[in-house]
Amino acid sequence: MQQASKDPLHGKTLEFIVTELQKYFGWEVLGQHVPINCFNSNPSIKSSLTFLRKTPWARKKVEDLYVRMIAPSES
């Protein structure tokens, strides 16, 4: 038997994560949590993905925020 991964990011694409965060918080609040221009200035999923794929520190902050967002529902 294969054991399920305990990593909350397992199987989740960056696009899925950004989309879920945007739906949950909205661009304005998301930009307050992770203050980067792609969330604060003319935001879009596409521009955010382009930036986050090139910027590891920003991607980590977004992934960490997603994990915190889903943590209460996973307990």
Terminal Cα-to-Cα distance of the chain (whole angstroms): 23
- pLDDT the model gives residue 75: 44
pTM greater than 0.85? yes
The crossing angle, in degrees rounded to 10, of helices 14-25 and 45-54 is 130
Give pLDDT tens digits along the chain (75 positions).
Answer: 556 678 889 999 999 999 999 999 999 999 999 999 999 999 999 999 999 999 999 999 999 999 999 986 554
Which tokens hold the place of 17? 């994560």
- pLDDT the model gives residue 1: 53
